[in-house]
Structure 1
Amino acid sequence: MALLFGAAAQAATLQISPVTIEFSASENATGLTLRNPGDTPLYGQVRVFQWGQAHGEDVLTPTADVIASPPLIEIAPHGDQLVRLVRANTSSSAAATGAAQPAQAASGAVGIADGERSYRLLIDELPSPGTAGAEGVTIRLRYSVPVFVEAPAGRAAQPLLAWHLVHGAQGYALRADNAGTTRAQIAAVELLDASGHRWDVTRGLLGYALAGQGRQWSVPVPPDAKFGGELKVRATVNTRPVEETVKVEQGG
């Protein structure tokens, strides 16, 4: 799912299709279409970053594993632009990615070298040429599109999540550690205990726990919350409903 940063969603002018890019293990090239529905030309920059997770946060690192072309775009009003994505050095990318990903996720888990690889395609809308120095503020929009390269053939591609509710100085945070070989897209999350108490975390997309890594999110659970019996999480993971036990622990 593509994300927009830097302005309200209704200010967005760029249309992107598809909103998630997936390479098969044997596929070397694919593309996406950018459409400008506006009445003025749209200018932008296109870059690809390796996407990892460390200490519960997303980490983007420059990479040459996947090349975007063209890197600079100018889209005419009501026009389209095809952006081509090409995997470079595919014979060694799996091994290189295993070494290059952040060493540890929130749980200390190391990214799986022969699992799915993950990237982010960033598209920055740039001011029109000649507008630098004009009065007023030019809003710069950034779109972030997830890009995945599936695990090598023969690997069973499934997420394997362990859930933790961490109590720290700033309140509670929900952590999902993924020991599987493919990402977990997590949405529609709620916590519930054996006494019937419920805490809604989100009804939409929470985020991703990448293959062999983990992600942590602050959740609206009161700092003095008391849990009656076993705590569970209900969520939608890769479009499938799940219910799992949550381990409650004290953070640093």
Structure 2
Amino acid sequence: MKSISLIFLLGVILLFKPITLHAGELLISPVNIDIPPGERAALLKLQNNSNSPMKIQIRVRNWDNDKTKPKPKVIVSPASVNIFPGKQQVVRIVNTGPVSNIDKERLYRVFLDEIPDASSASDQGLLLQLRYALPLFIGGPDLSVSRTNNLIQLKSIWNRALSYSHNSLTNQITFKNQTNGHARISKLRFADENGKETFIFSGLLGYTPANSQHSFDIPSVALANTSILSAEINGVDVEIEAFRK
């Protein structure tokens, strides 16, 4: 199970890119919360690696944060925790809606808000509220290395079902996901005619939900419409071709 140390993050981190400032550390594991088909709950471990107590509030929201949609049928227990320095707290994320199944994936975000201690305010009275955002996947097919070790099959599926288009005028790249599960896109790169690879985005670019298209802003690159990209999709390295007509 992978974990990552997120250090004093400011604001809502929707693409889960860590920002490092000078403050305490919260160790979060896992950073991708998954409730596989047939299961009802997942565990989230929080460890305080700082020298001060932490108070964390945990909430679940819709993936797109659309407040007009029904609230997620997910509960968090406990929903608020106090973690002393060097200690760990385990939180249960429980699906109270339909039993997760392989045919339909439900996506949510889990927000962890660190409640600042009023006594720690600066001389100007400034209190910084920190927010961590983690993806929550319920159900859906086994399309990630966290669910299956069959890398050959994963490569084959994503190579057929994920494609892209590039708009050089707006510096946007659009991914088309034709599977019933999300695509986590990272380490995006392309090769020139000599085979030399150029990274477009070396970290996590973002997510394209099941059966959808999603556009991302990228740096200006000399990318032809016929170029074949490579990226890490849900933990497996895949070649991605341009949209098929």
CA drift of 1:149 comes to 1.1
Contact 1:194 1:230 in 2 (8 A): no
TM-score (norm 1): 0.71
1:107-186 to structure 2, matched below 5 A, reads: 114-129=103-118, 135-151=124-140, 160-168=161-169, 171-186=170-185
Pick one of 75, 79, 92 that aligns with 1:71.
79
CA offsets 1:139-167 (integer angstroms, 9 cap, x no match): 222111211112279xx996521211124
Q: Which runs of 5+ in 1 are unaligned?
A: 52-58, 95-112
Instruction: After TM superposition, give the deviation of residue 9 of structure 1 in Å.
Output: 2.5
Contact 2:172–2:216 under 8 Å retained in 1: yes
Change (3 A) 1:115 1:194: farther
Highest RCO, 1 vs 2 (Cα 8 Å, sep ≥ 6): 1
How far apart are 1:132 and its partner, in Å?
Answer: 7.0
> In percent, how many aligned pairs have the same letter?
29
> SS of 2:50's equivalent?
coil
2:241 is the alignment partner of 1:230: no
Whole-Å Cα distance in 1 between the matches of residues 226 and 213 of structure 2? 22
1:15-30 alignment, distance < 5 Å: 15-30=27-42
Deviation at 1:39, TM superposition (A): 1.8
The alpha-carbon distance between structure 1 residues 13 and 195, as it changes in their structure 2 partners (threshold 3 A), is closer
Return 5+ residue gaps in structure 2 as ranges: 12-18, 143-152
Q: TM-score, normalised by structure 2?
A: 0.73
Matched to 1:145, the amino acid is: L
Superposition RMSD in Å: 3.3
- Whether the 8 Å CA contact 2:52–2:84 is kept in 1: the answer is yes
Mapped to 2, the partners of 1:119 and 1:24 lie a distance apart of 14
Higher strand share: 1
